[in-house]
Structure 1
Amino acid sequence: MKHIQERRMEKAKIIIVEDESITAYDLQVRLENMGYTVPAIASSGDQAIRAVAAHQPDLLLMDINIRGERDGITVAQEIRERFDIPIIYLTAFADTATIERASYTEPFGYLIKPFQEQELYSNVEMALYKHKSEQRLRENERRLQISTERLHALHTIEQSILGADSPRDISQTALQSIGTLVACRHALVMNIDDQKQTAEILASYAMNLTQMKTISLFIDDANFTHVMQSGEISVVSAPELFTTLPGLEHVLCFDETLHYTNVPLRSQGELIGVLTLGSTPSQTYDESQMDIICELANSLALAIHHSRLHQELLTYTGELAQRNEDLDAFAHTVAHDLKVPIGVITGYCGLLMEEKDSVSTDDLDKYLSIIARTTDKMKDIVNALLLLAEVRKKDVCMDKLNMSDIVQKAQYRLRFNLAEKAVDVFSPSYWPSALGYAPWIEEVWVNFLDNAMKYGGNPPKIWLGTDKVEDSMTGEVQHRFWIKDNGDGIPTNDQAKLFTPFTRMDRVFVHGHGLGLSIVRSIMDKLGGAVGVVSSGAVGQGCLFYFTLPADNNLDQPEAAD
């Protein structure tokens, strides 16, 4: 009854195809009295087809014997195939052949003239109801098929995501198949850093082209991250999105006709990113499509979160293994460096105890001087170990360095050794401005200068200098600071072992360059720089040790060297 009441309120449209005008008029009156509308009456097949195309009726009452070359059955077949309009035949023909022909057109009724008004009404209502039911069934089947295909595609994507390693790989894998789920022109997966107000694009999709873009964009709209944090899905125009993310035009072509649906990627209540889909106004997503998009977003968020946890676990496991190895090597380092001076002190103390009554004043001064120097050496070793521990644990701020002042302090600490060995030190006329942590950079210079003195020529000559280098990975320009001596150099096979932090004793102490250079390497790793050595290994050609630091882009003016 509900469907009948709805149809009556809607006034179902019925077209009559009848070559007898009086009969057609009588049918029109009856139908209108029953509450239907009759927008057209046709007497031939061509008229009927034009009327159906113009009015899109809900039902067709078709006489078999009509004007024109084609009869009602032939015309009904064409209308059924082209317009999917239900048809009831009204005819005086009841022979088997005619009924059999008519049945091939799948009519919704067959009334033999003359018929009663109640017969007409019941056939019309049943035909309308049956056709609506079939339409609903076909629509449900269509939706079920679409949903099944989307769920299959989503399952395939999820399986592919599980096989990916990094957040970028996961995002790229998802976008490669997103077109099988929903219609979209553009798609982005972004990692959101709420603290820095930046969006890092992990992968992008544009017109069947999926690519990874390692580009970070500043978010010029605080409300964007606020909405994403709230978990709400937002829809913005292309101008709004491209204004919110300046620089997005380097990833996607601007198209002002598109609008963008932003779906937060959240895991355990934390916002980790955004899935953004760009579509035309005609591609507005319905409820079922939004369910699929949200399911994809949930899978993405979960996979990215697990990938990060896995990476953190690998990093932590690696650090733990390294620390265990460091601890073992640390023990070897302490034992090796302290064993010799302790043996010296123990030996001379024993000698003094045995000869305390007979030792001369000159010998006593000599023994005590050796003990004092050895104690200083032990103190230096302990300080070096403490510094190495500090570098590994302490977080520092990168500030502008006064390199001229730092080099002077390092030379002042070694002034007695420099004077004793008559070392000539040649410095540049200026030093560029770089970023770092001054106390640690001073230690680097002390280590480099000390090694240059020990292993330089006779007499030692030391050249200090600086130049610019470009990072091969990022293209960033850095300053390189170097020191060159006139010694015998280091064989190529030994150079790679010099800076290995806390490596076992037989590998780290190459010609005595061990713990100090391990400290240098740890410092540069912490400050984001690099360290290295250049040496041909030829006698008299010496070594060039260097380290790099980020340039001070805000004020990269050279400093005069005193």
Structure 2
Amino acid sequence: MTSAKILVVEDEAIVAKDLQYRLIKFGYTVPVIASSGQEAINKAVEISPDLVLMDIKLKGSMDGIEAAQEIHKHLDIPVIYLTAYADDKTLARAKITEPFGYLLKPFKERELQTNIEIALTKHGLERQLKVSKKWLDALLKSIGDGVIASDLQELVTFMNPVAENLTGWKQEEAYGRNSSEVFNIANADTHNSIESPIVKVLQDGIIVSLPAETILITREGGEIPIDDSVAPIKDDKDNIMGAVLVFRDITERKRAIEARQRQIEQEKLVLQWEEINQLKNDFLNLVSHELRSPLSNMKLMIKMIQLSTDTEEAQRYLELMEGECDRELGLINDLLDLQRLESSSYPVITPDALLLQQFLTWIIEPFQIRVQQHQQTLKLNLPSNLPPLLSDGISLERILIELLNNACKYTPAGGEIILSVSHNSLETPAKTIITTSNSAEISAIELPRIFEKFYRIPNADIWNQGGSGLGLAIVQKLVEQLQGNIQVESGNGWTTFTLTLTDLL
């Protein structure tokens, strides 16, 4: 820094002029010379030099050390002492002012120039460091996250105002304390203490984040949900010097997430309500058709009977009317049965020892003619050694009839329906497993809804296949009454209902 401006403070005029001459020869500028401590202070304030060469012994009541102290109060200027005194007392006083050099007279030109250049360079670096520190301090104080720094012993060395507010600790109180005492964290659900992440960072030298659902226990015992990360502080040799912890209060974020989740749940409920409402409308349309259709048919048949003079023709119309009456009664019974099952007013079940070989043969007999008419085949697979099943025969009959009825309705011509039974005595209690399978497939999207009330598979021919959409809902309720469970799976062109029952005690 050859263009540096230097203030010379020397009370001996000849020495001062000689020193000015040498400095100019080095390339420095020496605008003024001060001969007393007070004059040195005034000139320093006036010209703001880059460096002061200060003699310790000066004229007047103020010596060079006192003058340097006053200059430091107003200006950030490096001072080099030039003196003939090297006693301990003088040296101790000079140290207090943090000089950038201490040259004993007489000194060589090269020695003077070297000390000046070192002082100017060192002061420039220190000034940059101070600026960086002030910038960093301002940054740490202004950010919205809490910041805590620790040394290698996990002792707190720094806290910004946000960290103070969140933890309840002031920096001066926390300084030198173990970081785990100041940054006390626990699991939000269990309230079990969590080890400070600073420990792992200092051990492994890696960036560490807090686990989810972490709370900060404040000094007063309050709880604040937080998230954070901890990073090691390393020197230019990549040696760990400490750790810095950055954390934030996520109370508002959690509230926003919870509010969004509630909104999503409400949207789902609205969607479900709309779907249920649509199902209700579809059901009402279906029921109105199913109820009206037999009545309309019966009304028409009554007119035909009134007009007919043929006894045989009248008898045929009466038989058709009976079928329509049964159809009407079936729909009404389904509605009533479901209502009773849901309100727990269904007749009390009566356990009985059912011989499944006879019971199932009797159940499928009415379906044999029906499957032949639809060009289907119905098989019954029964092992010969089945033990009796202690269950309610009426409920089990209704379940199997509904399952077989559905199988007949949805199995195409040429398709197959299989009713199988097995018994597992190795489990406790022993289980009887009844499956109905038919060669028709239900899509994976529709399968989870198959037991919903009023639900019908889309694009089904409801007028030809009939039914109210209540059969499987009734089946599920009846299975629950029998303390069993029913599952359905579909794939590879087949749909299988698996009914698992145990003896009713």
* TM more than 0.5: no
Larger Rg: 2
Scaled by the length of structure 1, what TM-score is found?
Answer: 0.40
